[in-house]
Structures are given as structure tokens and as C-alpha cells.
Structure 1
Amino acid sequence: MEKIILHVDMDAFFASVEQADNPKFKGKPVIVGGVSERGVVSTCSYEARKFGVRSAMPIFIAQRLCPHGIYLKVRYYRYKEISNRIFEIFREVTPVIEPLSIDEAYLDLSEGKFNDGLEAANYIKKRVREEVGLTLSIGISYNKFLAKLASDWNKPNGIKIITENMLPDILKPLPISKIYGLGEKSVRKLNNMGMFKVEDLYELPKEFFIEYFGKYGIDIYERIRGIDNREVTVNRDRKSYGRENTLKFDTEDIQEILHYVRNFCLEISEDLKRKNVYIKTITFKYKTSSFENHTRSRSLTYYTNDFTTIYKVAEEIVKDENFIGTIRLIGITVSSIKEEKVEQLKLF
């Protein structure tokens, strides 16, 4: 039996939660993120996107584009609460779930009560709308790459199915930036070579992909032909938890860097608590505008999943770092993981 994979993606999640919690915000441009002049947009409603506002955009630019927008601070605890309720609905559909973030996941229907992707998608959308008051978009296909591609097709509140008989015609007109595994740098280089759409790559020999992309070349070659053999994996034995983000605009502002770091630490802490996991090593990662990677780590003498503790260490790392040049990527990872029983033993 051909696999049925769903990619579920909440629509403008943070902003949608704010609109659901406060009905007077519905239909209005809501921008969630750092509210200071050096803050950045975490998520914005579709009403705000009409003005050109986008995630990771500096707040001062968003305010220039949308001066009458509703600017709100991030309430991560609330978004996590809603996310947990939505993932409970996912678990009623299948136990094979691969979370990608607080508002996004792959579902493999090879186990569970549904053997029809559209039926499962409509069930999820109905339950989430009735119980949480939010909308989501779902892509349905036989592999992860196509399912994720499909979920973005009819946003917001859409469903899209990509079947094998639609290939390669459905992929050929797409910009090459849609191909998972092609980063901004690779897309830019290919554009400079005159290749903008998938059809421009389709006729090239496999050897070109291997020579140009190295070990990932075969993956790119296969994906533009609708082939993706990655499994939906349930993370049961993780060695680390992390978050990172490539900035829309390079920065050298420490407060803006700390804004990202704080949000990452909050997300990670909530994830650790939900899974009864404790850590004692915190790593700060950043990439400069010249694409140099740097990591700085510090370890505690005890295990914790407390947000304040994790952020305090991360903040110290950032403030002690001698940054040279502007920063284009920021990340936080925690490791040296132990289960809850270790934390309890420490108390004795």
C-alpha cells in the first residue's frame, strides 16, 4: 500500500491565537513579536501580510509598512498550551507524528484509524476549528517533500493532494526555491546560471547534481522527480533540543540577538518540561554574514529544564562573545540529557 503522509501547518499561528483570544482583533493586521524598535516580527496575520509585513522582519520596518497594525508581545506559554491541544488531536489520528515546530508536523497514516488522507485531513480541520477556533492547512501525498509542498499550496485554511500521476508536470513550473534542500545561497547561484524553475533543472544529468551539490546532489535530483525516501520519525531518543533562525536582515544588535535567544530558550524549556527531560549543557550558535559558523557552550553542575536558568546561561554566553561583523543566523541547543528520575535523585 502506498504511504499516506500529511503535512499539517497552522495558519499564522501566533497571530491567529491572539485573534481567537481577543475577538476585536479578528480581521485586523496583528503583528506578534518584539515590540521595541529593534525587535523582530515572529508571526503576523494574513491581514498584515497584505501590507508586506513578513516573519523575521524588523519591527521598525513593519511599523513603516503597517502603521495602524496591532503590535503584541509573544505569549509563548499560551501558544504552547494551544499547540498541545492540537497535537492531542493529531495523536487520535495516528501515533506516527514527527513534530517540526510548535505549529507544524508530519503525520504518517500507516498506523491509526484512517486510511484515506482527505478524510483524515477533514477530521483534523473540523476538530481544531471546533475545539480551538483556529484554521490550518494540510498537504497530502506519498512522501514528506510533496506533502510539505502541498500544505503551502492553498494557504490559509487549505487542503492540497499531490498524487504520483501529477508528476512531473505539477513541479516543473515551480521556482527552484521550493525544492527542499536548496538554500538561499544555492538558489542564488543557480539563478545566476539562468535556472529559475524546476523545469530548468529537470533535463540536467545526474552527474551535474553530484558535482554541484556534493553528497546531497542525488537528493535534489530525486526530489524534482517526486522521490523522497525519508521516513516520518517519532523522536523518542533525542540527544539534543534546539532552535535556530536565519535572519531576514543581518544584525549586530545584541538586544535583537537576545530577543531571539530568549524566545528559543522559552520554546526549548517548554518542550523539555512537556517530555520530562532535563539538560545541563547550553550551546549558542551563530553564523556571520561571511558564513563563518561559531558555537559557544557552557555546562551546569546540575540538570535543569527551567527557562530562567537556561536563558541566564545563554545570555551570559552572548554578552561575553566578541562578535566580529554582522550576524545572519542565531541558534540555541541544549544537550547532556537525562530523564526525570535523574533530577529526582539529585534532590537526595
Structure 2
Amino acid sequence: MLDESVYKWFSLEWFTPSAFKSFDWEFFFVFYTIPVVLLLFLLKWLIGTRVKQKLPVALPKKEIQKHWTSYLRFIPNALMALTLLMLLIALARPQRTNELVEQWSEGIDIALVIDISESMQIEDFKPNRLEAAKRTARDFISGRSQDRIGLVIFSGDAYSLSPLTTDYELLYKFIDEEIDFNKIENRGTAIGSAIAVGTNRMRESEAASKVMILLSDGDNTAGNIDPITAAELAAAYDIKIYTIGIGKEGKVPYGKDFFGRTNYVENTLDETTLREIAKIGSGQFYRVSDNEALANVFELIDQYEKAEIKETRYKNTTDFYPIYVKWGLLFFLLFLASKSTFVSNILED
């Protein structure tokens, strides 16, 4: 059904620049004929001035005055020019197209498993490892569109902070307000338990792809399940696991002493176990040593794990050429009327 504005063809808004800019012109090349039409009118005028009969009248020069009615003789030509212009606009086929795009995707379920143990306070990342991880996780979530994402945190125990959800604002709130070093009392690093909790969240998922991103900076020192066993359990549920080892090798800054001087501690990371977990989970292991490297890894994973989005496009095209045909007909009728009156018979001086 055409828009109501189509029937308001008499409105002068159809001749405004904004109206013309809003159109899609199917045959825009028609406008290139306008100079030809103008040239034809010019030739008609030149020929007419030479062949038209003139009535010689002898009058004193001071009595020769051009009356305003002499300009009325241009009305028929102007009306014919407008008629042709309207027809050219109609031939150019002005249209407006509304395109409706329907998207659907085979969603991905993603579990972000984040270490919040004491060692995540180390300041080789700015301002520290945990804050860098939170910021990067937030950016990662903002880059997704239709995927369900869940949050798991762990230190000496593992805790499911958020179920799989597409409510990204809720996830941002959890990241900003709930993830801190005091959320879990038991100290240590329970990597195996964290993987198990993440698996439990996704084991009933029917998503086309299930992904777990595990971020940790230490060895497995707590929990009641071995990390390798937990990884095998996740693989049984077709969960792909990416592991990220965070932290620099050697001595790293950790707090300040009584005199305000920076303390340094020796950093250790069980890289072998994290590599094996990623291998079992058909994912990849990454080792990062600064904020930029961490962000790059999440961007890489973001590129790897994209949902397959399919589109269906519908075009609803409305033609507006009838409006200009009607205007052309109106101008043509006015032209015929003017040709039948005194207007076209005014003497030229």
C-alpha cells in the first residue's frame, strides 16, 4: 500500500531540494536531456523573432513605453516548459525504497572464566592484572551481538557469577561491581574446579558452538578436581577451551613496603598445564605479558568465534512518478487555456 503522501500530489513539497534528495532515480540519465529541451526553446525564440510578422507603427520615441502586460506573452511558453520538465522528472522514475533486513544466527555460548586469586593484584599490568582482565572482558562482551555469555570466577574455589545470558548490561554490572579479590574467601588457584563449573553451566546448551575462555596467572593449587580431568570432561560436551596465561616471567612488582618502595616477587606460571588444557579442548594457549597483548588475544578470539549470521532482505519500493505526471497534465491544460486567450496574442513591441 502506498504512503498517504503519494495522494497529496498537489503539495509544493514535491519540488523542494529535500524531496529530490530523498528519491532514488531509476533512470537518472533522463535529466541530461534538459539542456536539449532548453536549447529547443532558445531556437524557437530565435526563429520566431526573425519570421514573425511585425506591424510597423510610427510613434514619437517619447511615447514608446513597455507595458507590464507585454510580459504575459511568455506565460504559454513557460507553461509548456514546465509541462516538459514534469514529464522528464516522471521519466526519470523517482522512487523511495525501504529495505528490511532480517538477521538470525547460530548463536555461540561463551563462558569467561577469570582468576581472582591474590596474585592477580600484581602490577605488571596497569593498574593490576585483575583490573586489566576486567577491562578486556568488558570490551570483548561489547563486541558480541547475539551470543550468550556467562561469568565464572575462581581462586581457592570456583563460583558461577552469572549464567549464560544476552543481557550484556547485567554482565557489565557484574564485572564492575562483583569481581574483586574478596569475593571468594578460600585462597589458592582452583583451575580444575573453575573449568568444571564452566562446563556445568554449558553442558545443557544447544548452541552451535560452545566456548570457554580461561584466564589465569598461576599454578593449580586448590580445588578437588584435576585440571586435565576437568578439561577432558569439557571436551566430552564439545566445549572449546582457550587458555590465557597472564603475567611476565621473573620478578614482578607487587605492592609497596613501609617506606613506599615497590616490592618485587618471583612470578611462576604452570604454562604446561594451560597448554594441555587448550589442546584437549581443541582451542589455543596464549601467554600475555602486558595490557596490549591481553587485548590483542581477546580480539583474536573474537575473530575466531563469530556466529554464522544469515540475512534475508526485503525491498519495498514506492514510485512517485504519477505525482509529476499529474503536475505535467495540469501545466499542459493551463498551456492550452492560455493559448486560447488574449495572452498569446499580445502585440510585441
**When the two structures are superposed, what TM-score results if normalisation uses the length of structure 2?**
0.19
**When the two structures are superposed, what TM-score results if normalisation uses the length of structure 1?**
0.19
Higher relative contact order (CA 8 A, sep 6+): 2
Which is greater in Rg?
2
